[in-house]
């Protein structure tokens, strides 16, 4: 089966590298790894990535996005059909058309239209043009996020400001919230990091990676019970977070709850085993 590199995704979908990383970090797509640990995206990954971005821009709640994308992936073929695909987001649902075939009923206003075809052996994803103002805001958010990534090692203070700008322009940019909180935590500004994470949870909900990072911070603050709650919230959103199960096993063992510890340690080992197959 053909796979696509990060560069291919940037070219075909016109998504920035930082946006791709952000969508991976929140679990909307899980590309495989190549021999050099590079990301390898399937055809389905590409379509799911672009649909995820469009639904986020439409302010659809994260839980509903995840459910909609799971449905989309189930209905996508392994390879491109000769008829091509027509993919539309309707409210919080995704409609897929393959020629005359259709999955899910469309009875609302379109938020996204994608035509996916193969021309001269190359995959093409064409979408309805966005209004200029919306496109300008999107580019500004991406620019601030990318600037934050670039400045983290050389100028952490400027990186914090860049992430603050990104979430000011797009309060639902969970990747920017996560990076901002993580950077503050790494700099030893634990209480500032807590404030950022709490704001992020209020604006974006209990995103799995966000709650995992929050749990790590709460551990460092010595608030074990709160850390357990954060980790539980994380796996409630994404039960496949192996590191989260491992941390829960540690904490439950420390709290004198061996049965809970064994259960999460077993889940952690099963997840690791499945990843290495």
Q: Is residue 107 pLDDT above 50, yes or no?
A: no
- Check residues 106 and 204 and name the one with the higher pLDDT: 204
Specify whether domain 6-127 bears CATH 1.10.1660.
Answer: yes
DSSP assignment of 185-242: HHTT-HHHHHHHHHHHHHHH---HHHHHHHHHHHHHTT-HHHHHHHHHHHHHH-TT-H
Tokens standing for residue 131: 């209004």
Q: How far apart are CA 110 and CA 238, in angstroms?
A: 28
pLDDT at 100 over 50: no
Distance CA 52, CA 90 (A): 13
Read off the pLDDT of each residue in 116-139 and give the average, rounded to a whole number. 45
The pLDDT of residue 110: 34
Distance from C-alpha of 100 to C-alpha of 264, rounded to nearest angstrom: 47
Q: In whole angstroms, how far apart are CA 80 and each of 70, 72, 237, 243?
A: 18, 14, 31, 35
Residues in a beta bridge with 99: none
pLDDT-derived band at 258 (thresholds 50, 70, 90) equals: very high
Lowest mean pLDDT among 81-90, 123-132, 237-246: 123-132
Quote the Cα angle for 138-141-142, to 5°.
85
Integer Cα distance of 254 and 34 in angstroms: 38
Task: Determine the pLDDT at residue 96.
Answer: 59
Rounded to whole angstroms, the Cα distance separating 150 from 170 reads 19
How many other C-beta atoms lie within 10 A of the C-beta of residue 253? 15
User: How many Cβ atoms from other residues are within 10 Å of residue 53's Cβ?
Assistant: 19
Enumerate the CATH 1.10.1660 domain ranges in the chain, comma separated: 6-127
* 269 has a pLDDT exceeding 70: yes
> In CATH, which superfamily holds the domain spanning 133-214?
Tetratricopeptide repeat domain (1.25.40.10)
Helix (H, G, I), strand (E, B) or coil at 41: strand
Q: Determine the length of the chain.
A: 277
Label residue 17 exposed, middle or buried (CB < 10 Å: 0-12, 13-18, 19+): middle
Tokens of 152: 């983290």
Residues 6 or more apart in contact with residue 75 via CB below 8 angstroms: 96, 103, 104
Domain(s) labelled CATH 1.25.40.10 in the chain stretch across 133-214
CA–CA dist 158, 101 (Å, integer) = 51
pLDDT, residue 105, reads 33
pLDDT at 220 over 90: yes
């Amino acid at each position: 089966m053909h796979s696509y590199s990060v560069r291919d995704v940037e070219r075909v979908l016109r998504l920035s590298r930082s946006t791709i990383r952000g969508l991976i970090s929140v679990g909307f797509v899980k590309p495989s790894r190549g021999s050099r640990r590079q990301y390898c995206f399937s055809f389905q990954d590409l379509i799911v990535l672009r649909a995820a971005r469009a639904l986020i821009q439409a302010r659809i709640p994260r839980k509903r996005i995840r459910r909609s994308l799971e449905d989309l992936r189930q209905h996508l073929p392994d390879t491109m059909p000769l008829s091509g695909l027509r993919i539309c987001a309707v409210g919080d649902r995704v409609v897929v058309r393959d020629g005359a075939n259709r999955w899910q009923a469309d009875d609302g206003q379109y938020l996204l239209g994608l035509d996916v075809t193969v021309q001269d052996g190359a995959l093409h994803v064409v979408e309805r043009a966005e209004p200029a103002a919306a496109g300008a805001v999107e580019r500004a958010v991406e620019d601030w996020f990318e600037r934050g990534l670039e400045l983290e090692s050389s100028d952490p203070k400027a990186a914090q400001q860049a992430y603050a700008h990104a979430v000011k322009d797009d309060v639902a940019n969970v990747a920017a919230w996560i990076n901002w909180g993580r950077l503050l935590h790494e700099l030893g500004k634990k209480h500032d990091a807590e404030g950022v994470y709490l704001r992020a949870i209020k604006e974006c909900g209990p995103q799995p990676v966000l709650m995992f990072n929050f749990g790590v911070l709460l551990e460092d603050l010595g608030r074990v019970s709160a850390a357990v709650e954060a980790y539980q919230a994380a796996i409630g959103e994404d039960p496949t977070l192996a590191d989260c199960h491992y941390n829960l096993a540690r904490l439950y063992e420390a709290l004198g709850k061996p049965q809970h510890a064994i259960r999460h340690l077993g889940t952690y080992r099963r997840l690791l085993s499945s990843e290495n197959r």
